[in-house]
Amino acid sequence: MTLRNDRQTTLAEPVTLRGIGVHSGGPASVTLLPADAGAGIVFQAHDAKSGREVETPAHWKCVSATALCTVLGDPKSGGVATVEHLMAALRGLGVDNVIVEMDGPEMPIMDGSSADFVEAIEQVGLKTLGAPRRYVRVLKPVRIAQGDAWCELLPHDGTRFEVTIDFETSAIGRQSLEIDLTPANFRRELARARTFGSVADVEKLWAHGFALGSSLENSVAIADDKVVNPEGTRWPDEFVRHKTLDAVGDLALAGLPILGLYRSYKGGHRMNHAILVELFENAGAGAFEIVEAPARREMGSAEVVSGLSAAAFGPNVS
C-alpha cells in the first residue's frame, strides 16, 4: 500500500444528526465539527454534576465498558456510550480529525447501522489538510483467545478484515466475510448493516432498564429462529457484515488507521478492544511501528475533496 502524498482529512463543514439513544430511549443528538490536523477524533460532552465540558479522545485507553456497546469514559460524568457505529463511518471514509459534540451521554442509534453517519459526512464533504497521515503498521502476529473465540492482527499490505461468526440459531448460523477496507467497500458492503439480537435477550435488558430505545426501527430482531422484521435482512449475511462494521469502529480506537489484517472468530466489542490492549501493551517491542506518509514538496492551502458519491439513504441532519 503506497502512502505517497496521503494527507489527513477533516469535515468541510459541521453537521448534526438527531435520533434516540438505544439504551435510554430518549432524544439524542450529535454534531460533528471540523478539527485541525493531529487532533484526532475527540468527544465533547457536558458533565451535569460539575457543569464543565469533558473531552474524551476516541482512544482504546479511554474504553470503560464493552458489554452491550463500546463506552468511552463514564457516561454519568461526560463520557459517551455506543461510539462504534460513528467510529466505523469515520474510519471507513478516511476521516482523521473531528470534534464530536454530544448533547448527552449516548450517541443516537439512528437505524442501527453506520448509514446515516456516512450520509451526513458525505453531505458536507471532506477537507484535505496539509499534514501527512500517520498509521499503525502491524509488524508481527498478535493473538488472543477466550474459550473457542479468538482474534488476531497480522502484518498486511493495506487494511483488511476477515470475520467469522457462529450462532446456534438457524436464522444466523455460521457466516464469514472477507473485505479490504476502502471508502467504496465500506459504503457498499458494510455501512447499512444493522445491529441485531434476540427478542428474548432484549426483553431481559428492558426489565433491567437497558435497551429502552431498541426497536425494529434500529435493529434486526430474531425470535423462534426467524427474523421478526417485516422487511427481512438487507443482505443474507447482514449479521456478519454488522460484526465487521463493529470491528472497524472498535479498531478505530487505535487512534490511527491500522495497516494490517484483522481476523476474528466469534468476536465482539470486548475482544476487539482486547486485541488493541494486546498490541500496544502486551505484545512487546517490535509488534508495531508508527509510519507517516511522505511530505509534499509544496504545502498548499487546505482543499475540499470533491466527487464524494451521494448515498441512497438519508438521516435527519442539519
Distances (CA, A) of 162 to 19, 260, 261: 31, 11, 8
Q: 97: which DSSP letter?
A: B
Three-state secondary-structure class, residue 94: coil
Strands of the 226-227 sheet, one edge to the other: 196-198, 220-223, 226-227
Torsion over CA: 275, 281, 282, 283 (sign): positive
23 in a labelled binding site:
no
Q: Is 59 annotated as a binding residue?
A: no
269 carries an active-site annotation: yes
DSSP assignment of 73-93, as one string?
Answer: S-GGGT-EE--HHHHHHHHHH
Side-chain-side CA neighbours of residue 170 (13 Å): 3
The catalytic residue among 46, 59, 269, 273 is: 269
Instruction: Tell me whether residue 98 is exposed, middle or buried, using C-beta atoms within 10 angstroms of its C-beta: 0 to 12, 13 to 18, 19 or more.
Output: buried
Is 85 annotated among the ligand-binding residues?
Answer: yes
298 Cβ contact list (under 8 Å, min separation 6):
none
What grid cell was written down for 162?
A: 476477515
Binding residues: 85, 242, 246
Catalytic residues: 269
Binding residues for Zn(2+): 85, 242, 246
